[in-house]
Structure 1
Amino acid sequence: MRTTAQNAELALLLEVTGTPKPGNVDRHREYEDLRFEHFVAGAVGAQPGLRMAADGDPLGESFLRAVEGMSEQRGGNTQFGAILLELPLVAAAGRDEYTLTRDDATAVVESTTVADAANFYRAFEAVDVAVDEPPEGMEPLDVRRGGDAVPALEERGLTLADVMERSTDRDGVAAEWVDGFERVFAAADSVQDCDGPVADRAARTFLELLAEEVDTFIVTQHDRATAEETTERTRAALEGDLDPETLADELVAEGINPGTTADTVAAALFVALERGIEL
């Protein structure tokens, strides 16, 4: 039987094997500087940090270790958001005092500390992550400052949950942390309700999620209009008016990467694996 940490690693691997996932790296499509093998290496490298979270180590330390391991490949940021989204779920599934439910995952989030927030910031020193400019008045807490922002965090007494709450309007992963992982658990239901190989179910769920809501990573990388247009194009693919394979090729060619949607699918796969979905 796989451990919780092994399921978390497997979820990252299954996510990247699913195809077509328009705009994302998968087993059929790559970017010139971001390849399938980078995601495989990133998932394997993250495993020690995932194991720490399952074993009860502080969430911030676990995240930092996972990201440092993930970054030990030449592609850069492969699964930063996916790991961040998985980790409270891994902690809930792996620790005796919790179970893998939305309520208990929320309890894990609410238990985070200032030290967890500090290690979250330090993780930005391990890999380049695309982020928006900080809101007015939040410049001292710009995550791109990495460890240099820790004194400001400590002065304000901000926990990792507090940091996430301040980012919900522009970051889909942060919104899931604050909203009790609603989309993750709904996506896990979708994966389980489909037929066929799990990676194919993940690809179908990816299309459903992207057709339902704009991807905040596209907003960050491009703009809101591009994200909304991508959602409309995905909806057309889901409804049969556009070949998903064609859309996948187009988005890769255009450099449009729905990374937050992929993060959600990875976390959903973890939930489905913990529930016992068979491969």
Structure 2
Amino acid sequence: MSQNKQQLEYWCYLACMMEATARKPGNVHPEASFPDLSYADFLKSAAVIAPLLAQSTEQTTGELVLSCIRETQKAVTSNSNLGMVLLLAPLTRIPAKLKVTEGIHTVLHELSVEDARAVYEAIRLANPGGMGTTEAEDIALEPTETLRDVMSLAAERDLIAREYTTDFQIILKTGVPAISEYWNQTGCWESAIIHLQLRLMSEFPDTLIARKLGRAEAEKAARRARSVLQSKAGTVHLEEFDSWLRAEGNQRNPGTTADLIVATLFVALRDGFIPAPAGGTILEKIPPQFHQFLNSKYQHE
């Protein structure tokens, strides 16, 4: 594997592992699981998709998404990574010589109807919660427009779809500057990621929460995230927020925000906005019972 592909694989895996390991409110992490999804599932999923994403130029964006979801389904029984794959696939196809800001527009505008068909199949395989039905280009049917065009139809109700129609504006204009700021302020990768989560949730109400419980509940979660972010009694309010998100069967899981965090970390690592943390600072956050699920090639980076 070339050095560029090795680096791409490492950034993909690292972004996924860092996001899953940071003890963010409402999400799965080493100390908190859902009945159908565990921290180990995220580690296994990351190890599956990273090498596939590193070979991104050998497939179209849609084929890449479908390949990642097919392989993930062999390793994990629940949907662990559809959103992050949808975001990482076009990002990894940007030529290495270009910054993401320079290359993402072309990648997104080259998407085809065939890309849409492959992504529709991937979504049906992953079977994410709260999808519902739509009048135009419903996921149960075969698409007739390009992937970017069908994403535009869902942009009002799904932040990942919105990224496809705005050249990844949330990630590039809010996420990357925010993670850089918090990284410099705190000197701690986990703290920076938690701050990033609160920032994204406060500005962009989580659309997974909205799909499950309605827009009003997502906006309520956004207000609470903003309050925690601005609070001086950070830890206490963070724990209260975590408990509220996890109540009633984890229905307020801010899963879309987690996907945006993965993509933000990937871009920030790829384009040099943040350094890769020393491997030991991540491993120390991971209890020994999960070490068997780590891909050995990344444990001592």
For the superposition of Structure 1 and Structure 2, which TM-score range results when normalised by the shorter chain? 0.7 to 0.9
Unaligned stretches of 5+ residues in structure 1: none
Residue 34 of structure 1, aligned match among 1, 25, 37: 37
Give 1:248-263 correspondences, 5 Å limit.
Answer: 248-254=242-248, 255=250, 256-263=252-259
Give 1:181-196 correspondences, 5 Å limit.
Answer: 181-185=168-172, 186-193=174-181, 194=183, 195-196=186-187
Residue 210 of structure 1, aligned match among 201, 210, 219: 201
Residue 12 of structure 1, aligned match among 7, 13, 16: 16
When normalised by structure 2's length, the TM-score is 0.81
Residue 81 of structure 1, aligned match among 80, 83, 92: 83
Structure-1 separation of matches of 2:132 and 2:35: 27
Structure-2 separation of matches of 1:245 and 1:9: 28
Cα displacement (A) at 1:28: 2.2
Q: Is the 8 A contact 2:25 2:241 kept in 1?
A: yes
* CA 200–68 in structure 1, closer or farther in 2 if over 3 Å, else same: farther
Q: Is the 8 A contact 1:63 1:83 kept in 2?
A: yes
Give 1:166-177 correspondences, 5 Å limit.
Answer: 166-177=153-164
Cα displacement (A) at 1:80: 0.5
Cα displacement (A) at 1:61: 0.8
Structure-2 separation of matches of 1:37 and 1:5: 19
SS in structure 1 at match of 2:75: coil
Cα displacement (A) at 1:63: 0.7
Structure-1 separation of matches of 2:101 and 2:151: 17
Look up the match of 1:233.
224
Look up the match of 1:52.
55
One-letter code of the match for 1:272?
A: A
Cα displacement (A) at 1:104: 1.6
One-letter code of the match for 1:177?
A: Y
The answer to whether the aligner puts 1:244 opposite 2:247 as a matched pair is no
One-letter code of the match for 1:129?
A: P
CA RMSD of aligned residues (A): 1.9
The answer to whether the aligner puts 1:99 opposite 2:95 as a matched pair is no
| Residues paired across the two proteins, number | 262
Look up the match of 2:280.
none
The answer to whether the aligner puts 1:114 opposite 2:117 as a matched pair is no
Structure-2 separation of matches of 1:200 and 1:15: 11
Look up the match of 2:293.
none
Cα displacement (A) at 1:65: 0.7
Q: Is the 8 A contact 1:24 1:259 kept in 2?
A: yes
Q: Is the 8 A contact 1:190 1:205 kept in 2?
A: yes
Q: Is the 8 A contact 2:44 2:76 kept in 1?
A: no
Q: List, as ranges, runs of 4+ consecutive aligned residues in structure 1 with deviation greater than 3 Å.
A: none
Cα displacement (A) at 1:272: 1.0
SS in structure 1 at match of 2:74: coil
Structure-2 separation of matches of 1:183 and 1:46: 23
One-letter code of the match for 1:167?
A: A
Structure-1 separation of matches of 2:192 and 2:26: 17
Q: Is the 8 A contact 1:18 1:199 kept in 2?
A: yes
* CA 125–213 in structure 1, closer or farther in 2 if over 3 Å, else same: closer
When normalised by structure 1's length, the TM-score is 0.87
Structure-1 separation of matches of 2:212 and 2:60: 31
Cα displacement (A) at 1:253: 2.6
Unaligned stretches of 5+ residues in structure 2: 278-301
Look up the match of 2:298.
none
Look up the match of 2:269.
273
Residues 224-249 of structure 1, C-alpha deviations (whole Å, 9 max, x = no match): 12111111111121121652123113
Structure-1 separation of matches of 2:220 and 2:85: 27
Structure-2 separation of matches of 1:221 and 1:208: 21
